[in-house]
Amino acid sequence: MLADYKEDIYHCLKCGACRVSYEAFAPICPSGTKYGFDSHYAVGRVELARALLEGRLEIDSDMMRRVYSCTSCGGCDEQCNPAVGISPLRIIEEIKFEAVEKGLIPPEVRDFLKSVSIHGNPYLQPQGERGNWAADSGFEAYSSQENLYYVGCVGSYDERGRRLAKTVGDLLAAAGLSFGILGEREICDGNEVNRVGERGLFQFLAEQNISLFRELGVRKIITLSPHSYHAIRNDYVKYGGDFEVLHYTQAIQRMVHEKKIVPKKPIHKTVTFHDPCFLGRHNNEYQAPRSILECIPEMRLIEMERNRRNAFCCGGGGGNFFTDVLGSGKWSPNRIRVREAYERGADVLAVSCPNCRNMLEDGMRVEELEGKIAVRDVAEILKESCA
């Protein structure tokens, strides 16, 4: 309930620190950067929450379109917490929860939730096709192996996500890691469901996953997506989930360090890395992907102006990867981010998230930068160097 956050809501100083990264002195909020109105920044959304608390405003679908353009990137928390000590994102997500409870959500969000509720995934695809990504891969079904490799909905159904899921699996297998997959038994992790405020459905998915993991004796999980990593590592704890969870870059970093994966082929490229919000800001993992890239012979790694905790979101978080409430246009976050990488002089914009991969690759094409900069996942770059 919003009333639980009253103290935080009233502690907002309206200083606007949530707008800009003061280390990079550059915009930090994706929706605010795109639209420019206070109601698209955390400072305005906290004021909306105050108006709701005081009865000066009622939730309606028009207001919620503005709220749902929030990508849950956590940039506002990163800038606000040191100065004031509140978490604007928790307040914003509480507004979403109340909107879901009242049925006052945009049609795109409603359709996304309906798809997950009925089909178990946002792609409206049959559960029986969930394991098709691993066809002819040789990956074994999980049955007491040391690790469960969990690929999530994007890795299971999205064309580009499937290729990435297999690439990561190939690296794990080549390193001799003991792992199995769930295939058609895998269940949506629910992170995006939670981020848009449908906590009942999220709890259902979390409890289903926890029950399945326990039934199979799973103790260690490696995820393809930072979104899955965040949900299973942090949010499942509330429902009794107690697992050792690694993002694939963390697992591969260890194997590179142990010389189980040895990149040999030089890659003469200048590469910059885009920090995924749910790996970086939400889980404080900035080094693992960079450590992998730093091991590639002859590769030059450079940083964009906005990096690590001050990185700029690709625009796909908070369910926007599926709902696209944030919308398109020149000032869309994915296009801004690709331009930033290109102007920095990078040949390759490296990512470690299937959502970021798709968002930024689409941004590159709309910006007509094909042939000038490539978007590639860390795992793809590493596999090329190991070939």
Go through the chain and tell me how many residues it has.
387
Same domain, 196 and 232: yes
Categorize the per-residue pLDDT at 22 as very low, low, confident or very high, splitting at 50, 70 and 90: confident
Give the domain CATH number at 216: 3.40.50
Q: Please name the residues in contact with 34: beta carbons below 8 A apart, sequence gap of 6 or more.
A: 40, 69, 326, 327, 329, 331, 332, 333
Domain boundary among 254, 278, 306: 254
- Which range marks the domain in which residue 369 is found? 262-386
Same domain, 230 and 276: no
> Given this model, what pLDDT does residue 371 score?
95
Q: Looking at the predicted structure, is the pLDDT value of residue 387 above 90? A: no
Domain boundary among 214, 236, 254: 254
Categorize the per-residue pLDDT at 86 as very low, low, confident or very high, splitting at 50, 70 and 90: confident
Looking at the structure of the chain, the number of domains it has is 3
Give the domain CATH number at 267: 3.40.50.10700
Give the domain CATH number at 58: 1.10.1060
Same domain, 115 and 13: no
Low-confidence winner among 47-56, 78-87, 244-253, 273-282 (lowest mean pLDDT): 78-87
pLDDT top residue among 21 and 336: 336
Same domain, 80 and 198: no
Same domain, 71 and 196: no
> Given this model, what pLDDT does residue 85 score?
78
> Given this model, what pLDDT does residue 308 score?
97
Categorize the per-residue pLDDT at 84 as very low, low, confident or very high, splitting at 50, 70 and 90: confident
Domain boundary among 53, 85, 105: 105
Cβ distance 47 to 12 under 8 Å?
yes
Low-confidence winner among 73-77, 81-85, 193-197, 383-387 (lowest mean pLDDT): 81-85
Same domain, 136 and 233: yes
Averaged over 78-84, what is the pLDDT?
78
Same domain, 117 and 248: yes
Reduce the secondary structure of the chain to three states and give it as a string: CHHHHHHHHHHCCCCCHHHEECCCCEECCHHHHHHCCHHHCHHHHHHHHHHHHCCCCCCCHHHHHHHCCCCCCCHHHHHHCCCCCCCHHHHHHHHHHHHHHHCCCCHHHHHHHHHHHHHCCCCCCCHHHCCHHHCCCCCCECCCCCEEEECHHHHHHCHHHHHHHHHHHHHHHHCCCCEEECHHHCCCCCHHHHHCCCHHHHHHHHHHHHHHHHHHCCCEEEECCHHHHHHHHHHHHHHCCCCEEEEHHHHHHHHHHCCCCCCCCCCCCEEEECCCCCCCCCCCCCHHHHHHHHCCCCCEEECCCCCHHHCCCCCCCCCHHHHCCCCCCCCCHHHHHHHHHHHHCCCEEEECCHHHHHHHHHHHHHCCCCCCCEEEEHHHHHHHHHC
Q: Looking at the predicted structure, is the pLDDT value of residue 207 above 80? A: yes
> Given this model, what pLDDT does residue 116 score?
98
Same domain, 202 and 285: no
Separation between Cα atoms, residue 155 and residue 142, nearest integer Å: 17
Q: Is the pTM of this model over 0.85?
A: yes
Same domain, 90 and 126: no
Same domain, 120 and 224: yes
- What digits encode the pLDDT tens for the residues 101-126? 999 999 999 999 999 999 999 999 99
> Given this model, what pLDDT does residue 13 score?
87
Same domain, 247 and 362: no
Same domain, 84 and 210: no
- What digits encode the pLDDT tens for the residues 210-228? 999 999 999 999 999 999 9
